[in-house]
Structure 1
Amino acid sequence: MTGSRPDGTRPVPSRVHPERRRRHTLYFLEHAARQRPVHLDTDIDMTRIEAHRAGARATGLRYSVVTYLLHATGRVLHRHPEANAALVPARLFGLRGPRTVRFAEVTAKLALDRTVGGERTVLSALLPALESAGLDDIQQRVDRYRGPGTEELPEFRGVRLLGRLPVPLGRLAFAAALRDPRRRPEIFGTVAVSSLGHRPVDGFHSSGGTAVTLNAGRVADRPVVRDGQLAVAPVMRLGLTFDHRVIDGATAADVLGDLKDALEGFDDGAEEDGTQLLARGAGSDLRP
């Protein structure tokens, strides 16, 4: 007996779909499977950042939430070089034991949801030297990668090539690019940043192939307690995934705590605009 439906019609046959546009993602996942991820998260009171965004919009400027996160990430990881690092592959350290390479600059790998050739896929944009970049500079770079025709930018030539190569050659090319850990910043970045805040996602965790991956959910009004009183504030859930091979939990918790201080104590350096610096210690040097 055939697998016909009750009405006598045959089901539409399944179609095998070649994943050419996502091959780079699949090669990456094979690499990321070697990580030992541990997940942390915290809530960020976004009151000061939302006030700054509103003030900027009134003057014709637009800053995305991820821009503030990138701004804080550059400065915080610069103060935690042990988390701005990568593990040296075992075949290289041999009998000398595990080693890590620490990077002088903070380079974020920003995940982008794009449509390439009619298919939805993820592209990763690199934003170097975040430790000294200002909000305007970061926003301009983010806008460039979120604009039309992103997939045709020269930065993504390697991704396009991986989609055209036969799978065995593509896998070898991907592995060869990562062989020297000192080249990681120009391929993988030194910290991964991803956001699903444009959808009703409160929190999530992913491993971006770096020692630290940051995951931002949506900003939503939630109850908070201030000076013993219940209030409503815009809150964002921030997830941090760390590779336990590179850093330990205490260091990761310090990074997450400093990010919370930096974002909640945001200061743009201006006076009398509602974003003056809070006395929160870790955020004291966070100026664009």
Structure 2
Amino acid sequence: MSGSAGSARDPARTHSERRRAHTLYFLEHAARQRPVHLDTDIDMSRVEAHRAAARAEGRRSSVVAYLLYAAGRVLHRHPAANAALAPRPFGARGPRTVRFPGVTAKLALDRTVDGERTVLSALLPGLESAALAEIQERIERYRGPGAAELPEFRGVRLLGRLPAPLGRLAFAAALRDPRRRPAVFGTVSVSSLGHRPVDGFHSSGGTAVTLCAGRVVDRAVVRDGRVTVAPVMRLGLTFDHRIIDGAAAADVLGDLKTTLEEFDDGAKGDGFQTFVRGTGQDLRT
């Protein structure tokens, strides 16, 4: 019995495959990348203190929101990494790179739809200037009940209904025009497995840079020659070597590390500095 016949006689399998159609088309696209992987450990003391101050005021702030906040600022400062490849006009040699003025994150979300786990990718535009509270509000929208039925995921639902050849063509057509890329694919990919005992991982999100966050866990760090304990998160960065080189990617990762370790959202009256003084914490990096 052929595989296709087997699928036709197994409605549950067919349904599952259709639900994951967008993921399979994406993987075919991402396979063209030339991924290189970097990682670093980030002292999250300031971020965790800021989160604690927010909780004291009845506000939720997820670690992913801080990473998105930092990613927006950092990618805006490194436009070569906020870019994509686009085909050159007919007759020209080689691909060309298109840089984007704004930063749009493609955030991978683990959702349960009709009793089955699937990955949905939410787009968060304007991260170069979005406030932390605004970013958290967007995340909550995509994590809420019925998120899979939001208008933003209409394209994903359509891909699942199309026959595979048409779905593959539709996916490719959506990415053909580089000017539309941020609105359909984002300019940077972000994924987190920090809710599980995962220290670090790497993936290729189809963008020039993909950020992968592990858990935040207490570890020994050295400050001023002394060993102390601090909350540490491992951050992986995968870059597409067709678009940027290793030195540029290392600059991006270093800037992300500094931005998170010296976190300051510039907000006034949020109780952060008051909280820190009250606890007597040393948040030097």
Same fold per superposition (TM over 0.5): yes
Q: What does 1:130-279 align with in structure 2 at a 5 Å threshold?
A: 130-269=127-266, 270=268, 272-273=273-274, 274=276
> What is the match of residue 17 of structure 1?
13
1:116 Cα deviation from its structure 2 partner = 1.5
SS of 1:97's partner is coil
| Structure 1: runs of 5+ lacking an equivalent | 1-13, 281-288
> What is the match of residue 9 of structure 1?
none
| Structure 1 residues 71-99: Cα deviation after superposition (integer angstroms, max 9, x where no partner) | 00000000100000001136x46424331
Q: Name the CA distance, whole Å, in 2 between partners of 1:17 and 1:153.
A: 25
> What is the match of residue 103 of structure 2?
106
Pick one of 126, 130, 134 that aligns with 1:129: 126
Q: Name the CA distance, whole Å, in 2 between partners of 1:202 and 1:94.
A: 47
Give the number of the structure whose residues are more often helix, by fraction. 2
- Preserved contact between residue 108 and residue 192 of structure 1 (Cα < 8 Å): yes
CA 40–169 in structure 1, closer or farther in 2 if over 3 Å, else same:
same
- Preserved contact between residue 85 and residue 103 of structure 1 (Cα < 8 Å): yes
Runs of 4+ in 1 over 6 A off after TM superposition: none
Among all aligned residue pairs of Structure 1 and Structure 2, give the percentage whose two residues are the same amino acid.
79
1:45 matched to 2:46: no
Q: Output the aligned Cα RMSD.
A: 1.8
- Preserved contact between residue 93 and residue 99 of structure 1 (Cα < 8 Å): no
1:17 Cα deviation from its structure 2 partner = 1.8
> What is the match of residue 70 of structure 1?
68
Report the residue type matching 2:255 in the other structure: D
> What is the match of residue 30 of structure 1?
28
| Structure 1 residues 206-241: Cα deviation after superposition (integer angstroms, max 9, x where no partner) | 000000000000000001001000101000000000
Q: Name the CA distance, whole Å, in 2 between partners of 1:205 and 1:170.
A: 27
CA 96–202 in structure 1, closer or farther in 2 if over 3 Å, else same:
same
CA 52–67 in structure 1, closer or farther in 2 if over 3 Å, else same:
same
| Structure 2: runs of 5+ lacking an equivalent | 1-8, 278-282
Count of matched residue positions in the alignment of Structure 1 and Structure 2 = 264
